[in-house]
Amino acid sequence: MIAAADLLSVWESGVTAGNAQRAALLHAVARPDVPDLLAVPVGERDAELFALRRSLFGRRIPVLLACAECDEELEFDFDTMAVPQGGSIADPITVTEGPWSVVLRVPTCGDVLAAAQSSSPRDVLLARCVLEAKCGNDSAAVTDLPAEVVGRVVDAAAQADPGADIQLAVRCPECDSTARAELDISVCLWTELDAWARATLLDVAKLAASFGWTEADILAMSPLRRRYYLELAGHA
User: What is the rounded CA–CA span in Å between residue 194 and residue 80?
Assistant: 20
Q: How many CA atoms lie within 13 A of 31 on its CB side?
A: 18
What pLDDT sits at residue 196? 97
Q: What is the DSSP secondary structure assignment for residue 113, as one 8-state letter?
A: H
What pLDDT sits at residue 83? 85
What pLDDT sits at residue 10? 97
Q: What is the DSSP secondary structure assignment for residue 108, as one 8-state letter?
A: B
Would strands 130-135 and 138-139 be described as parallel, antiparallel, or unpaired?
A: antiparallel
What pLDDT sits at residue 34? 87
What pLDDT sits at residue 208? 97
Q: Strand pairing partners for 93?
A: 104
pLDDT in tens, 32-86: 998 899 999 999 999 999 999 999 999 999 999 888 889 999 999 999 998 877 6
Q: Strand pairing partners for 96?
A: 101
What pLDDT sits at residue 236? 65
What pLDDT sits at residue 86? 62
Question: Helix 42-57 and helix 19-30: axis angle, to 10°?
Answer: 70
The per-residue b/e assignment along 192-228, b for 16 or more CB within 10 angstroms, e otherwise, is bbeebbeebbebbebbeeeeebebeebbebeeeebee
What pLDDT sits at residue 68? 87
Asked if 236 contacts 227 with a C-beta cutoff of 8 angstroms, the reply is: yes
Q: How far is CA 1 from CA 11, 56, 149, in A?
A: 17, 9, 46
What residues in the chain have per-residue pLDDT under 70? 86-88, 90, 236
Domain boundaries, the chain: 4-86+167-231, 93-160
Q: How many CA atoms lie within 13 A of 53 on its CB side?
A: 26
User: What is the rounded CA–CA span in Å between residue 25 and residue 13?
Assistant: 8
